[in-house]
Amino acid sequence: MAKFVLMGTYCEDVVERRGPFREAHLAGLKAQQAEGVLITLGPTEDLTQVFGIYEADDEETVRSLVEGDPYWQNGIWTSYDVKAWIQAIG
């Protein structure tokens, strides 16, 4: 399996707008983590960007997970990029 880095952005009023979708978002992430595909994910301290690390067969799998997330579907995440990642240490 390959590793992938997710980098994305949040909408400006993320704290207010994420409320209705937060529970479903977190439940989905926990399921991905339990399946072993999601290593870690979270926002930057200023809540402007999201960063995540995935382990998956291919980039399309990661993109499918991101685009199936309630945050993407409801405009909480406003853009994202996925890059294959080579873990050098750790």
Interval 31-86: pLDDT, tens: 999 999 999 999 999 999 999 999 999 999 999 999 999 999 999 999 999 999 99
Interval 5-32: pLDDT, tens: 999 999 999 999 999 999 999 999 999 9
Buried b (16+ CB within 10 A) or exposed e, 9-20: ebbeebeebbee
Domains of the chain: 2-85 (3.30.70.1060)
Check if the beta carbon of residue 5 is closer than 8 Å to that of residue 85: yes
**Model pTM score:** 0.94
Q: Cβ of 62: how many Cβ atoms within 10 Å?
A: 27
Length of the chain, please? 90
